[in-house]
Structure 1
Amino acid sequence: MTKRDGLEGYYLEDLEVGMEGSYAKTVTETDIILFAGVSGDSNPVHLNEEFAKTTMFEGRIAHGMLSAGFISTVLGTRLPGPGTIYLSQNLQFRAPVRIGDTVTATVKVREIIAAKKRIILDTTCTVGDRVVISGEATVMVPARG
């Protein structure tokens, strides 16, 4: 990592294929309620245990986009870090996340497109050994001078 304007992160020139960064967070009841309020997604599968018990999940689950947001945390704070601009993301939601689960978001540099100051990363969210989200992101990364 290098210092960029007092913040730690990577310039485009510092990145190499295979580099990884991650962030872990235990999902709480408060996280789900706050996310519902901020996003407007009040689907009862997230907020109402009695309703959620009648679904295929047999109980409440966290919003998929809450967990996907942890990928953004990695990109903007760890790898590549501050100044990174999210250009695109695709996601496959593979398994539910429940209150008390610790989600680990990991990004891995797959391709560097130096001429466009872009990188393509594999993105994954896991709970233990179980993949809950997989996908790919494209971001623009600051370059030196």
Structure 2
Amino acid sequence: MTLFERDFDGLEVGERFRTESRTVTESDIASFAGLTGDTHPQHVDAAWASGSRFGERIAHGLLVLSYAAGLMPFHPERVVALRRIADAVFKHPVRIGDTVHVEGEVVETRPIDDEHGLVACRWKVVNQDGKLVLRASVELVWRRAAVREPILL
């Protein structure tokens, strides 16, 4: 059973996990720019970006953070909510064609009430070369006991 399939009371500080990976595409960057309105030429204009310090277009930092959240294999009967993302630091540009994954660690668990607990994690988003591109602290609301009946979505 993976960490994300267990109840809150079965988690331990120090546990580590690694997600599957995802490759950044030009289409993802264009879609993210359209959805968010962040059309900075560093992301969407190849000619402009070729003269920038990065020499080419790069992914939006918040797109990479969104990838990280999307790569988490949250079990819907265990993880109730992503409560907080804090201290996000964008360490290295992510380029079209880069493949990223998340390496994480549980750093704190704290009961909230009889039904829920708070799980604090550190996320490190790493590219295909092993380079750290993003780090963040995350808090998740976790169910303390298994749900007896499935949640209908």
- TM-score exceeds 0.5: yes
How much does 1:115 deviate?
4.0
- Report the CA distance between 1:15 and its aligned residue: 1.4
Mean alpha-carbon deviation: is it higher for 58-67 or for 19-28? 19-28
Matched, 1:13 2:14: no
* Structure 1 residue runs without a partner (length 5+): 3-7
Structure 2 Cα separation of the partners of residues 89 and 103 of structure 1: 18
CA distance in 2, matches of 1:109, 1:55: 38
Cα deviation code 1:71-120 (max 9, x no counterpart)? 21244x24xx3233111112000000000000112221111112451011
Q: Which residue of 1 aligns with 2:132?
A: 131
Q: What is the rounded CA distance, in whole Å, between the counterparts of 1:37 and 1:115 in structure 2? A: 38
Task: State the match for 1:67 in structure 2.
Answer: 64
SS of 2:143 mapped into structure 1: coil
SS at match of 1:58: coil
What is the CA-CA distance between 1:58 and the residue it aligns to? 1.1
CA RMSD of aligned residues (A): 1.8
Alignment check: 8 A CA contact 2:121 2:139 kept: yes
Q: SS in structure 1 opposite 2:14?
A: coil
Q: How does 1:1-145 map to 2 (within 5 A)?
A: 1=1, 9-19=5-15, 20-75=17-72, 77-78=73-74, 81-82=75-76, 83-90=79-86, 91-115=88-112, 117-127=117-127, 128-144=129-145
- The answer as to whether partners of 1:61 and 1:99 remain within 8 angstroms in 2 is yes
Check the 8 A contact 2:21/2:71 in 1, yes or no.
no
Calculate percent identity across the aligned residue pairs.
29
Contact 1:71 1:107 in 2 (8 A): no
Give deviations 1:122-142, integer Å, cap 9, x for gaps.
111011210000121111111
1:28 positional shift: 0.7
Query: What residue identity is the alignment partner of 1:139?
Result: L
Post-superposition Cα deviations, 1:21-45, rounded to whole Å, max 9, x if no partner, equal: 4131011111111111112211111
**Runs of 5+ unmatched residues, structure 2:** 147-153
Q: Distance in 2 between matches of 1:63 and 1:115?
A: 34
